[in-house]
Structure 1
Amino acid sequence: SPKMSVIRDVSNFFAVVLEAKEKIPCDQPPPIEKGTAITEDKMYYTGDTIRYSCDHGYRINGSNEITCKMGKWTSPPKCIETRETCPSPPAIKNGASFGPLLTNYTTGSSVKYRCHRYHILEGPETVHCVQGKWTAQPTCLEPCTLNVDDVSNNNIEMKWRLEGELFFLHGETIDFVCKQGYYLSSSSRQSQLTVQCTHGKIIYPTCIMKGKTIAVFAILL
């Protein structure tokens, strides 16, 4: 009937209008500071949603989701600093941290390290608390102690007479000479009588009596 035909036409009209509204596109999601929109390579229309994530050290303030409504996105969230605290600074071998010593530290705090006597600090003296984690700690390089028994057994002696306990810092060189009546083997160089303290270890040169052949080096472990 004519009346039913009009009703169908009106219904179809509103269906077309509703479908057109649902297909209104939105621009790409707005960027946010210290965060990123998790998007796909496509157009977004009314009803579509996307999510945001924050950079390390920041968290979402509010909902992490926005929606496309009639060609516009709802308001995006903000990323705020988490302000995580750090525990007491880690202990290091042959060294210690100093002042101020607290149970926890806020981001931006710092402490310093120093090594025990005769140890050399390698790496940063100062470490910083950054979002719940400390930056890399230094290490303390061990010194060497001259072992008089090893010196005697290898038929060598110090080139320079030194008094007291003989400590050598990491990286320092030590000059030896052969004892009287002993010599370096013919395959050895004179420079091998100068050795270096390396991580608490000394490789001692060996001198021999003429006519004898033995290992040229002994290692102090």
Structure 2
Amino acid sequence: MSSELQGTCPAWCLFGILTLLLCPSGLCDCQMPPPIAHGFYKDMSSLLSFTTVIHYGCDEGYVLDGKAKITCSYSRWSSPAPQCKAQCLKPEIENGKLSVDENQYVEHENIAIPNHYIESENVTVQCDPGYAVVGPQTITCTENGTWYPEVPKCEWRM
């Protein structure tokens, strides 16, 4: 390469020209990764790859619902962005139990989190024989990590 051309087009310029030649318009044109509430993403793409790789994570108190890693090639994302959903602790019901599987857990980066439920999940309270539900029988985990309506109680009925 002539010294005149080297002076006007540094290495990064040549890389840009090479990218344009190898990656025609529309082939590698990915929009910004979709943002998610209560979470973040990190670009894990390789410098020489023409595929964009994004890894999502959630803020403390939230768990990922969906794929943690999405990719973009040929101007299309491999899947929708995941969501970060609030966690609710399993409600303690004296003289009763919940109608869902006692082994309920959510997955967070391949780690089981027992005794937690996620946003929008409903549970139904069932009282032991001789006890009755005082309050709403079905409650929902809310986006702020609390149960709505309030967790009911099981009271003795004669």
TM class, shorter-chain normalised?
Answer: 0.3 to 0.5
TM-score, normalisation: structure 1: 0.33
Structure having the higher strand fraction is 2
Return the index of the structure with the highest Cα Rg.
1
Q: Which has the higher contact order (CA 8 A, sep 6+)?
A: 2
TM-score, normalisation: structure 2: 0.44
